[in-house]
Chains A and B, each alone.
Chain A
Amino acid sequence: MERKRILSIRDLEISFQTTDALIRAIRGVRLDLYQGETVAIVGESGSGKSVTVKAVMGILSSNGSVDNGSITYTDPDTGEVFPIVEMSQKDIRSKISGQRIAMIFQDPMTSLDPTMTIGKQIMEGMRYHHQVPKKEAQRRAQELLDLVGIDNSKRRMKQYPNQLSGGMRQRVVIAIALACDPQVLICDEPTTALDVTVQSKILELIQSIQKEKNLSVIYITHDLGVVAKVVDYVAVMYAGRIIEKGSVEEVFYDPRHPYTWGLLSSIPDLNLDEEELYSIPGNPINLALPFKGDPFAPRNKYALNIDFEEEPPLFHAGGKHRVASWLLDPRAPKVDRPASLERRLKEMKEEVKRHE
């Protein structure tokens, strides 16, 4: 089957004007999303992962502006093309958000209206976008509640968000997002505010719905465990750029960027018994201050001289794997991954073999 490209982001640059300085939050992001596939954007707070998807939804805060680049949405059914950057807020609202791209936010309590019943909130989008008659909308809302695993849906329709537990609320948010049959679902840290036990259940729910409806999903997260569980492609962001991307197998079994090494190493390993947990030294860069070269260089043990002079381009690392690190330049000295990570990667591959 041919893969249908549904969303493509090219050379995106976004900056925010603050009272102190102009912050270049996104500095050239290129990303594709195909129908039915799942992409994760991984990074720390301030890396620009949320800003990227906010631009896709046209909900950047008022001091932000898209300086360069394009975001193109292609409807897989009708073939219609929407250049999101050029569209007005009003156009985006009526044609894109909700109907074609829906978003799930981190905290289910703040994204639900506390004064409105759950049923009303699910029906709102359908009534607005598709002028669905009330009876029909009610029936569909009830179906959606069943789909997201909320029992007793008829009674739940009349309840308010405060009457539900955190996991239940996030399920309602998912139901609302699905109400208008979107083609793309963006999940901005969908499980961070939830309990561990509920977390994995919500992820499994999104996964099963995705399969059922052939949805494309973008996950925004800083949890690599979540990425491993549900994602096909992963893009690691640092200081407004994608520094490593590829299929989840490429990035997890053969990481090439020192920042990704650090992220993978700092996850506690349940199988190995290490005294000291690896941690990336230093703090994330403040983009309001001027910097030269690779913004990760000051925290990077493997930084070369050129890292402090010039930002690395995206190098090919085979397959779909792209890495922004001078270490991949043919002129660069050969650098080995840290021994502890190498051990862990080996362990992981062996575990895979045991599972087959």
Chain B
Amino acid sequence: MSRPLLEVKDLKQHFRINRRFTTKAVDGISFTVDRGQTFGLVGESGSGKSTTGRSIIRLYTPSAGEIFFDGHRISGPLDAQTRRLVRTKIQMVFQDPMASLNPRKTVLDIVSEGLMNLHPELSVEQRKEKVSQVLEQVGLSADFVNRYPHQFSGGQRQRIGLARALIMEPQLIIADEPISALDVSIQAQVVNLLKRIQRELGITMIFIAHDLSMVRYISDRIGVMHLGHIVEIGDRNEIFTNPLHPYTLSLLSAIPQPNPVVEKKRRSLGYLYHQGGIDYTKGTLHDVSATHQVLAIPQEFEKWKAGDYSDTLTESHRVDPQSRQRS
């Protein structure tokens, strides 16, 4: 088998706040994404999932660890060539389509901006032609090129954001909560669009979200993040049918099902990180199966395998996990 498109090895992203306090947003995570696959990253806010995406695309300089993209090391200082590679072949789609599109620019300007840098030889007509093509690809009419972002609905704006990414002909798209700001009926449209585009163009994708049910639809593999660590990683069906880590269990139990009689009786599970005495920095990845790993120390692993979650999960509503980690 060929080398994965993206390899992340022990990535750390720390932010120094002051002399005594450093936020360890991402604290040593490793994963690989194969060509044409979708990797889903889930977790609550503050778990480091967005930071991971931003470190890969080099909006931050990683504190430690290595990232390989298409065989090139992109984690250290970048030379002109790798910088160009990162800036063109990896593209990002952001959460809030209104905040990520310049309100004073037309769709043509927004979508074609990257082209001017990548293909400065193109004439104005050729650029326009390319923009129209991409807009059609994401299901927007080519007549929209002279409109401004505020003239579109939320779902359409997210399509513009996607068009801006696609025009660079990327190999990897990092979608950072692309549907959280959209209406329910529109979310499904955008997820289907992402899935179709990915299939047609063979693009690799990292899909970041806190909504496990949508992640399941779009991902091949899923990594569950909490406090800067990947606590469980595996093929999507294994994560859903055979979850082992208590945090994954609590995430899964939090998804409300549209079945009133069943849902009314069900209690969601709260995850007790501090009371449960779990320390992620001590844990190592244990194999549940060849394609499914969980972060734990040996005793925890044995306990969870035996189905004993007595000290880490609770049905009480009187818990509010303090998610910010102090270090």
Contacts and interface: CB of A to CB of B under 8 A. Distances in A.
Nearest to B190: A279
Given A195-B45, A268-B216, A268-B217, A223 B184 contact: yes
B322 A266 contact: no
A225 B320 contact: no
A171 B188 contact: no
A199 B250 CA distance: 12
Given A196-B212, A224-B258, A279-B189, A165 B324 contact: yes
A231 B256 CA distance: 13
Interface residues of B, number: 51
Contact of B255 (A44, A196, A208, A230): A196
A262 interface: yes
Given A225-B258, A228-B260, A277-B217, A196 B44 contact: yes
A165 B257 contact: no
Given A196-B44, A199-B254, A263 B259 contact: no
Given A197-B250, A201-B317, A352 B259 contact: yes
A222 interface: yes
Contacts of B321: 167, 197-198
B62 to A, nearest CB: 26
B262 interface: yes
A263 B251 contact: no
A23 to B, nearest CB: 16
Interface string A300-328: 00000000000000000000000000000
A195 B210 contact: yes
A182 interface: no
A8 B16 CA distance: 56
A82 interface: no
Interface in A249-290: 249, 252-253, 262-264, 266-268, 270, 276-281, 283-284
A165 B320 contact: yes
A197 B254 contact: yes
Give the one of B214, B251, B261 with max A CB within 10 A: B261
B260 A266 contact: no
B254 A252 contact: no
Interface in B168-227: 183-189, 191-192, 195, 210-214, 216-217
Given A44-B184, A167-B320, A262-B185, A267 B270 contact: no
A225 B257 contact: yes
Given A270-B240, A284-B183, 12 more contacts: A45-B183, A165-B320, A171-B320, A199-B254, A204-B267, A204-B317, A223-B184, A226-B256, A228-B264, A230-B264, A279-B192, A352-B261
